[in-house]
Amino acid sequence: MAEIQQNSGGGDGKKRAKKQSTRVDMTPLVDLAFLLLTFFVLTSTFSKPKVLRMIFPEKLEKDNPNVKPPEIKDGLTILLTANDNIFYYQGALNKETEIIRTDYTKNGLRKLLVEKNAPLIEKLKKLQIELADVKEGDTANRNRIERQAKDEQMQSKLVVLVKHDKDATYENVIDVVDEFLITQVAKYFVVDPGLDPIETAKIQEQLND
């Protein structure tokens, strides 16, 4: 598309400097630019993946009979099984324990955790409001509130155990841990052994209903 100005022919015979167009044909340049643009748009990965931090306790010595896995008397136990099924019960396990079925939706697991964790959520909310009022640069106060929030988390009474059978998937575990983060559950453990026979039997009962 180079533009060439057509001279209308010498009119009066005087020699003039040729009026040459200063325009450059930019079409190839544009072609190249868009080619590169398309390439980078298609190959670039925009959002970097995020990470979820998980800490596992040091290994218990299996051969040592004195070392027993910790037992939690009044905790909440969540059981993950095949086909994204999820169950929970409160307290210690015995024959009378009622195992309740729930699901991964907002009204299932999250509602349950919010209810159970209400005292801590309440306290943290208050601290958050307090933190919003702290003036900028007032690090002493800020640190104090942050420390207090940590203390509250440490003293939280809610302890959640996550147990799974061999069919639970990675996604199930991540979903549950993510749910803990959302509902501010401070103390949770993903334990490695499979389900107790009592638990398995009760789950089977539930599934058959």
Partner 1 sequence: MPKVKMPRSTPALDMTPMVDLAFLLVTFFMLTSSFRAPEPIILDPPSSTTEQQIPKQVFLIMIDEDGRAFVDVTNAAVKSKVLKKMMSQFKTGGLSEEDINKFAGVGPIGLRMAEIPTFMELESTERTAYEQRGVPYDTAAANIKNSELYYWAYFTKIEAHNDYKQREEEAKLRNMEFDKSNYIQFAIKAASNAKWDKIQYIIDVFREAKVKEFQMITGLESAPES
Residue ranges binding partner 1 (CB under 8 A) = 1, 3-6, 23, 26-27, 29-30, 33-34, 36-37, 40-41, 43-45, 47-59, 62-63, 80, 106, 110, 164, 166-175, 177-178, 181-182, 192
CB nearer partner 1, residue 6 or residue 208: 6
Cβ pair 160, 75 in contact under 8 A? yes
Compute the least distance from the CB of residue 156 to partner 1, in Å: 18
Distances (CA, A) of 53 to 12, 21, 69, 140, 194: 85, 64, 23, 28, 23
CB nearer partner 1, residue 58 or residue 209: 58
Cβ pair 96, 89 in contact under 8 A? no
Rounding to the nearest 10 degrees, give the CA dihedral for residues 78, 201, 70, 59: -90
CB nearer partner 1, residue 29 or residue 100: 29
Compute the least distance from the CB of residue 27 to partner 1, in Å: 7
Report d(CA 109, CA 188) in Å as an integer.
Answer: 14
Compute the least distance from the CB of residue 168 to partner 1, in Å: 5
- Identify residue 195 by its one-letter amino acid code: L
Report d(CA 149, CA 193) in Å as an integer.
Answer: 32
Compute the least distance from the CB of residue 73 to partner 1, in Å: 25
Report d(CA 87, CA 12) in Å as an integer.
Answer: 100
CB nearer partner 1, residue 31 or residue 146: 31
CB nearer partner 1, residue 74 or residue 167: 167
Compute the least distance from the CB of residue 98 to partner 1, in Å: 25
